[in-house]
Amino acid sequence: MPDRRSSYFVFQGLFMSVLLLIFIYGVPQHGPGWHERFASLAAILGTPLVLIRIIPMDALSSWGFQAALFVGDAAVASVALQWAQAGANLYLIYVLLIFGTALSRSLLQSLFIALVSSILFFAKSYRPGAALSQPTGFWLQFFFIWVAACLMALLSADAERAQSEDRRTYEKRLVDAERLSSLGQMAAEVAHKIKAPLTTIMVNAEYASAKTRAPGLTKVLGEIREEAARCGEILKDVLNLGRIEELDLDPTDFAQCVRSALRAAGPQIRKSRLKIDESGLETPARVAGDKTMIAQAISALLQNAIEASHNGGIIRLQLVKSRRPLIRRDIWKISFQDRFYRLTIIDSGSGIDPKDLPNLFKPFFTTKKDGTGLGLAGALRIIQKHRGTIEASSLGRGLGARFVVTIPALNGKAL
């Protein structure tokens, strides 16, 4: 939904205008506190307009934002209608509209509810006579029902869609994770068997190139060694995948894992003249985890951030304790008591092509000439084994990428 921002803006703007008009029309201006009420109504209704303009697209698309706007607008409109002493009819119809829209499953259903509501309003409030002879208040209220209905329908349909997108992503991830788990176990077996012959090839190639003086042969032997070393790298990643399945969960400091991944990446960071901006890594972050594995997952993310960055770029790492996971396992079973640690890694590198985003965590997906495509798949598997998630987003071409890792906090509970 590329136009989500502008359609929200237009409908929220219309909603605000029509409510303010109803207020101006319905509340006597000489009444007590008129100006204060008008100003607070305008401020409360105007805030979402500013938010819609400035908040990032992924926050705007989240079901949380849409639900908050839906409930917030419904609540403010109820107060404004009460101030304007709108007829009981309008009130009832408006409540019907909110409930109906909240329960509806699609835009079409919501619009049907809007149609029924406006017919009800028409039947109740239309005074016999020509349409134009109806009082202004009648048309304002009629317009209000339609604007409110369209805005609510839009929000409700988008919130529904965002929820099912979240659920679909999570389910797809589970399938990917299971595939990766069996693939990892099998691949690790094969890799284990290939390791010995590969070592023999490398050692023999080295021995032969030390013995020969024929330049052509030295070149060929050099290529054999290079390619065998590359196979060795792939084998290492594959063997690591297999090891993920056997990790042990002990009380671990997540912040320390991040620090040790940063330390390991130190030489590369200095070589690429990258600046690191970190926060929240000084405070211990207790999780149930395998510290080597968590550090390995963070290293994979850092490695990608370094490789995507230009010389002199910046990598920001922020660790915070947060109250809820980014991806809900089951929307009806959210426990708001659950606490999570959230690590955000933002680089100022090349960014991610939107068409690559759905494939990023798939095993063997790579856009690099000599990449293995196992870094993110392995990192995700490790974090999933810790009941956590990794989310990736692009900040735009050439503007960098953001990876968010969430792991449940330990909170002193037994493992």
Residues lying near ligand ADP in the complex (CB under 6 A): 300, 304-305, 308, 347, 349-350, 352, 356, 360, 365-368, 371-377, 401
Q: Which residues contact 379 (CB under 8 A, 6 or more apart)?
A: 296, 297, 298, 300, 301, 390
Q: Toward ligand ADP, which CB reaches closer, 369 or 413?
A: 369
Give whichever of 281 and 302 is closer to ligand ADP, judged by the CB atom.
302
Closest distance between ligand ADP and the C-beta of residue 180, in Å?
A: 11
- Closer CB to ligand ADP, 148 or 376, in the complex: 376
- Shortest CB 350 distance to ligand ADP, Å: 5
Tell me the closest approach of the beta carbon of residue 410 to ligand ADP, in angstroms: 28
Contact (Cβ atoms closer than 8 angstroms) between residue 248 and residue 291:
no
Minimum distance between the CB of residue 261 and ligand ADP, rounded to whole angstroms? 14
What are φ and ψ of residue 130, in 5° steps? -70, 150
- Minimal distance in Å, beta carbon 375 to ligand ADP? 2
Closest approach, Cβ 377 to ligand ADP, in A, equals 6
Q: Which is nearer to ligand ADP, 282 or 370 (CB)?
A: 370
β-pairing verdict for 389-394 and 314-322: unpaired
- Burial string for 22-45 (b: 16+ CB within 10 Å, else e) reads bbeebbeeeeeeeeebbeebeebb
Residue 328 or 362: which CB sits closer to ligand ADP?
362
Q: How far is residue 257 from each of residues 168, 196, 281, measured CA to CA in Å? A: 30, 32, 10
Closest distance between ligand ADP and the C-beta of residue 297, in Å?
Answer: 11
User: Which of 73, 237 has the CB closer to ligand ADP?
Assistant: 237
Nearest approach in angstroms of CB 309 to ligand ADP is 8
In the complex with ligand ADP, the residue whose CB is nearer, 135 or 312, is 312
- Collapsing DSSP to helix, strand or coil, 354 comes out as coil
Contact predicate 279/258, CB 8 Å: no
CB of 306 to ligand ADP, least distance (A): 9
CA 13 vs CA 18, 27, 46, 61, 313: distances in Å: 9, 21, 8, 18, 40
Nearer to ligand ADP, 53 or 273 (CB): 273
Closest CA to 301 of 392, 167, 173: 392
Tell the smallest beta-carbon distance from residue 347 to ligand ADP (Å): 5
Residue 218 buriedness (CB in 10 A; 0-12 / 13-18 / 19+): middle
Our CB check for ligand ADP shows the closer of 62 and 372 to be 372
Residue 407 parent element (H or E): strand 401-408
Q: Write out the two tokens for 196.
A: 């010995």
Residues 6 or more apart whose Cβ sits within 8 Å of residue 386: 249, 287, 288, 289, 290, 294, 407, 408
Instruction: Report d(CA 335, CA 387) in Å as an integer.
Output: 14
If the CB atoms of residues 133 and 311 are measured against ligand ADP, the closer one turns out to be: 311
Q: How far apart are CA 345 and CA 392, in angstroms?
A: 10
Instruction: Read off the tokens for 53.
Output: 């303009």
Q: By Cβ distance, which residue is nearest to ligand ADP?
A: 375
- Find out whether 52 and 5 touch, Cβ atoms under 8 Å: yes
